[in-house]
Amino acid sequence: MEDEKLTFDHTCHVLYSKACKEQIQAKIALHYPAEQREAIWTQVQKQYVDFLKDWRTDLGGKKNFHNGTGGTYDCIALMAYYVICKSVTNLDEIEEMEGNLFLPAFRKLKFVNVNKPFFKRLLHFSFATVGKKCLKWNDYKMNVAAYQKGKPIYYEFTECPVAEFAKQFDLLEVMPALCNPDYTTMELLHAKLVRTTTCSNGSKCDYMICGDEDEYCRQHPEYKDVQGYRRNK
Protein backbone atom coordinates (compact mmCIF):
# COMPACT_ATOMS: atom_id res chain seq x y z
CA MET A 1 0.00 0.00 0.00
CA GLU A 2 1.25 3.50 -0.79
CA ASP A 3 2.14 5.45 2.34
CA GLU A 4 -0.09 8.33 1.24
CA LYS A 5 -3.13 6.07 1.52
CA LEU A 6 -2.61 5.31 5.19
CA THR A 7 -5.32 6.96 7.24
CA PHE A 8 -4.26 8.38 10.58
CA ASP A 9 -4.28 11.82 12.15
CA HIS A 10 -1.31 13.59 10.57
CA THR A 11 -1.82 16.63 12.80
CA CYS A 12 -0.51 14.74 15.82
CA HIS A 13 1.16 11.58 14.48
CA VAL A 14 3.95 11.02 11.95
CA LEU A 15 4.73 8.33 9.42
CA TYR A 16 7.67 6.00 10.02
CA SER A 17 10.87 7.26 8.41
CA LYS A 18 12.02 6.29 4.93
CA ALA A 19 14.99 4.51 6.50
CA CYS A 20 12.69 2.51 8.79
CA LYS A 21 10.52 1.48 5.86
CA GLU A 22 13.61 0.29 4.01
CA GLN A 23 14.78 -1.71 7.02
CA ILE A 24 11.44 -3.47 7.39
CA GLN A 25 11.00 -4.17 3.70
CA ALA A 26 14.53 -5.59 3.52
CA LYS A 27 13.74 -8.05 6.32
CA ILE A 28 10.43 -8.98 4.71
CA ALA A 29 12.34 -9.72 1.50
CA LEU A 30 14.75 -11.87 3.51
CA HIS A 31 12.04 -13.94 5.17
CA TYR A 32 9.25 -14.25 2.58
CA PRO A 33 8.99 -15.29 -1.08
CA ALA A 34 8.50 -12.51 -3.62
CA GLU A 35 4.81 -13.17 -4.16
CA GLN A 36 4.04 -12.62 -0.43
CA ARG A 37 6.14 -9.55 0.30
CA GLU A 38 3.72 -6.80 -0.68
CA ALA A 39 0.89 -8.41 1.29
CA ILE A 40 3.09 -8.75 4.38
CA TRP A 41 4.24 -5.15 4.11
CA THR A 42 0.61 -4.02 3.84
CA GLN A 43 -0.19 -5.95 7.02
CA VAL A 44 2.65 -4.16 8.81
CA GLN A 45 1.35 -0.80 7.59
CA LYS A 46 -2.17 -1.60 8.79
CA GLN A 47 -0.86 -2.71 12.17
CA TYR A 48 1.03 0.59 12.44
CA VAL A 49 -2.15 2.55 11.70
CA ASP A 50 -4.15 0.42 14.16
CA PHE A 51 -1.58 1.18 16.86
CA LEU A 52 -1.89 4.93 16.24
CA LYS A 53 -5.68 4.83 16.58
CA ASP A 54 -5.31 3.96 20.26
CA TRP A 55 -2.13 5.91 20.98
CA ARG A 56 -1.61 9.25 22.69
CA THR A 57 -1.83 12.35 20.50
CA ASP A 58 0.38 14.81 22.39
CA LEU A 59 3.88 13.89 21.20
CA GLY A 60 4.38 16.89 18.95
CA GLY A 61 4.17 15.33 15.49
CA LYS A 62 6.87 16.41 13.04
CA LYS A 63 7.97 19.29 15.26
CA ASN A 64 9.36 16.98 17.94
CA PHE A 65 12.91 15.82 17.19
CA HIS A 66 12.24 12.58 19.09
CA ASN A 67 9.91 11.55 16.26
CA GLY A 68 12.65 11.39 13.64
CA THR A 69 14.66 8.45 12.31
CA GLY A 70 15.10 5.77 14.95
CA GLY A 71 12.84 7.66 17.35
CA THR A 72 9.46 7.01 18.93
CA TYR A 73 7.43 6.37 15.79
CA ASP A 74 10.07 4.23 14.12
CA CYS A 75 10.06 2.10 17.27
CA ILE A 76 6.29 1.74 16.90
CA ALA A 77 6.79 0.66 13.28
CA LEU A 78 9.37 -1.93 14.34
CA MET A 79 6.89 -3.27 16.88
CA ALA A 80 4.26 -3.46 14.13
CA TYR A 81 6.72 -5.51 12.09
CA TYR A 82 7.41 -7.72 15.11
CA VAL A 83 3.69 -8.38 15.67
CA ILE A 84 3.02 -9.31 12.03
CA CYS A 85 6.24 -11.23 11.42
CA LYS A 86 6.78 -12.78 14.84
CA SER A 87 7.02 -16.27 13.36
CA VAL A 88 10.11 -15.34 11.33
CA THR A 89 11.84 -12.54 13.25
CA ASN A 90 13.52 -12.33 16.66
CA LEU A 91 14.81 -9.73 19.10
CA ASP A 92 18.34 -9.83 17.71
CA GLU A 93 16.95 -8.80 14.34
CA ILE A 94 14.85 -5.99 15.85
CA GLU A 95 17.92 -4.73 17.74
CA GLU A 96 19.93 -4.79 14.52
CA MET A 97 17.21 -2.80 12.72
CA GLU A 98 16.95 -0.18 15.47
CA GLY A 99 20.74 0.10 15.50
CA ASN A 100 20.79 0.65 11.75
CA LEU A 101 18.36 3.53 12.24
CA PHE A 102 19.77 5.02 15.43
CA LEU A 103 23.53 4.68 15.08
CA PRO A 104 24.53 6.34 11.76
CA ALA A 105 24.43 9.83 13.31
CA PHE A 106 26.82 8.70 16.05
CA ARG A 107 29.19 7.03 13.59
CA LYS A 108 29.81 10.49 12.14
CA LEU A 109 31.19 11.52 15.54
CA LYS A 110 34.11 9.09 15.55
CA PHE A 111 36.45 11.99 16.37
CA VAL A 112 34.75 12.36 19.79
CA ASN A 113 36.63 10.80 22.70
CA VAL A 114 34.87 11.09 26.05
CA ASN A 115 38.11 10.22 27.83
CA LYS A 116 39.16 13.79 27.03
CA PRO A 117 37.70 16.46 29.35
CA PHE A 118 36.69 18.77 26.48
CA PHE A 119 34.51 16.13 24.82
CA LYS A 120 33.11 14.95 28.12
CA ARG A 121 31.95 18.49 28.93
CA LEU A 122 30.56 18.85 25.41
CA LEU A 123 28.61 15.61 25.77
CA HIS A 124 27.15 16.80 29.07
CA PHE A 125 26.15 20.09 27.45
CA SER A 126 24.37 18.21 24.65
CA PHE A 127 22.42 16.10 27.17
CA ALA A 128 21.45 19.23 29.14
CA THR A 129 20.21 20.82 25.91
CA VAL A 130 18.13 17.75 25.06
CA GLY A 131 16.71 17.82 28.58
CA LYS A 132 15.42 21.35 28.02
CA LYS A 133 13.79 20.29 24.75
CA CYS A 134 12.09 17.39 26.53
CA LEU A 135 10.40 19.91 28.82
CA LYS A 136 8.75 21.47 25.77
CA TRP A 137 7.21 18.24 24.51
CA ASN A 138 6.58 16.46 27.82
CA ASP A 139 7.33 13.09 26.25
CA TYR A 140 10.63 11.84 27.65
CA LYS A 141 10.93 13.22 31.19
CA MET A 142 14.66 13.76 31.54
CA ASN A 143 16.72 14.84 34.54
CA VAL A 144 20.36 15.77 33.93
CA ALA A 145 22.71 16.03 36.91
CA ALA A 146 25.12 18.95 37.14
CA TYR A 147 28.55 18.36 35.60
CA GLN A 148 31.18 17.22 38.08
CA LYS A 149 34.81 17.18 37.08
CA GLY A 150 36.38 13.75 37.38
CA LYS A 151 33.05 11.94 37.75
CA PRO A 152 30.80 10.19 35.21
CA ILE A 153 27.99 12.09 33.49
CA TYR A 154 24.60 11.17 34.90
CA TYR A 155 21.10 11.64 33.57
CA GLU A 156 17.87 9.67 33.72
CA PHE A 157 14.51 9.33 32.05
CA THR A 158 11.61 8.83 34.41
CA GLU A 159 9.11 8.57 31.56
CA CYS A 160 9.61 7.08 28.09
CA PRO A 161 6.79 6.97 25.51
CA VAL A 162 8.28 3.89 23.82
CA ALA A 163 8.19 1.97 27.11
CA GLU A 164 4.70 3.35 27.76
CA PHE A 165 3.60 2.12 24.33
CA ALA A 166 5.07 -1.34 24.92
CA LYS A 167 3.22 -1.61 28.22
CA GLN A 168 -0.06 -0.47 26.71
CA PHE A 169 0.11 -2.96 23.83
CA ASP A 170 1.67 -5.85 25.77
CA LEU A 171 4.96 -5.70 23.87
CA LEU A 172 7.46 -5.33 26.70
CA GLU A 173 9.34 -8.35 25.38
CA VAL A 174 10.56 -6.18 22.49
CA MET A 175 12.03 -3.43 24.67
CA PRO A 176 15.52 -4.94 25.19
CA ALA A 177 16.02 -4.76 21.42
CA LEU A 178 15.09 -1.07 21.42
CA CYS A 179 17.08 -0.12 24.54
CA ASN A 180 20.32 -2.01 23.97
CA PRO A 181 21.62 0.16 21.09
CA ASP A 182 22.14 2.92 23.68
CA TYR A 183 25.26 1.02 24.73
CA THR A 184 26.63 1.00 21.21
CA THR A 185 26.09 4.74 20.77
CA MET A 186 28.39 5.41 23.71
CA GLU A 187 30.99 2.93 22.49
CA LEU A 188 31.21 4.91 19.25
CA LEU A 189 32.25 7.94 21.33
CA HIS A 190 34.98 6.06 23.24
CA ALA A 191 32.60 6.00 26.20
CA LYS A 192 30.85 3.41 28.30
CA LEU A 193 27.25 3.39 29.46
CA VAL A 194 26.62 2.01 32.94
CA ARG A 195 22.92 1.23 33.40
CA THR A 196 21.04 -0.69 36.05
CA THR A 197 17.42 -0.27 34.94
CA THR A 198 15.09 1.13 32.26
CA CYS A 199 11.59 2.60 32.16
CA SER A 200 10.36 -0.70 30.74
CA ASN A 201 11.69 -2.94 33.51
CA GLY A 202 11.85 -0.42 36.33
CA SER A 203 10.86 3.10 37.34
CA LYS A 204 13.54 4.96 35.38
CA CYS A 205 16.16 4.62 32.68
CA ASP A 206 19.51 5.57 34.18
CA TYR A 207 22.56 6.66 32.22
CA MET A 208 25.94 6.84 33.91
CA ILE A 209 28.50 7.67 31.22
CA CYS A 210 32.26 7.70 31.47
CA GLY A 211 35.22 7.33 29.12
CA ASP A 212 36.04 3.77 28.11
CA GLU A 213 39.39 4.11 29.89
CA ASP A 214 37.76 5.16 33.18
CA GLU A 215 38.13 2.83 36.15
CA TYR A 216 34.43 3.36 36.91
CA CYS A 217 33.28 1.23 33.98
CA ARG A 218 35.57 -1.61 35.04
CA GLN A 219 34.02 -1.48 38.50
CA HIS A 220 30.58 -2.04 36.95
CA PRO A 221 30.92 -4.85 34.40
CA GLU A 222 28.22 -5.35 31.82
CA TYR A 223 26.02 -8.42 31.56
CA LYS A 224 22.84 -9.43 29.75
CA ASP A 225 19.87 -10.35 31.93
CA VAL A 226 17.32 -13.10 31.30
CA GLN A 227 15.04 -10.68 29.41
CA GLY A 228 17.84 -9.70 27.07
CA TYR A 229 18.66 -6.25 28.50
CA ARG A 230 22.27 -5.11 28.55
CA ARG A 231 22.86 -3.97 32.14
CA ASN A 232 25.64 -3.33 34.61
CA LYS A 233 26.43 -4.59 38.07
pTM, 2 dp:
0.95
The predicted-structure confidence for 6-51, as pLDDT tens digits, reads as follows 999 999 999 999 999 999 999 999 999 999 999 999 999 999 999 9
Q: Is the pLDDT of residue 136 over 90?
A: no
Strand arrangement of the beta sheet that strand 191-194 belongs to? 141-144, 153-159, 205-211, 191-194
137-160 b/e (C-beta count within 10 Å ≥ 16 → b): bebbbbebbeeeeeebbbbbbebb
Confidence of residue 199 (pLDDT cuts 50, 70, 90): very high
Contacts 24+ apart (CB under 8 A), 166-171: 166/79, 166/200, 167/200, 168/54, 168/55, 169/51, 169/79, 171/79, 171/82, 171/83
Mean pLDDT of 173-200: 97
Percent of the chain whose pLDDT exceeds 90? 95
Half-sphere exposure of 157 (CA within 13 A, CB side): 21
Rg (C-alpha) for the chain, rounded Å, is 18
Mean pLDDT of 186-211: 97
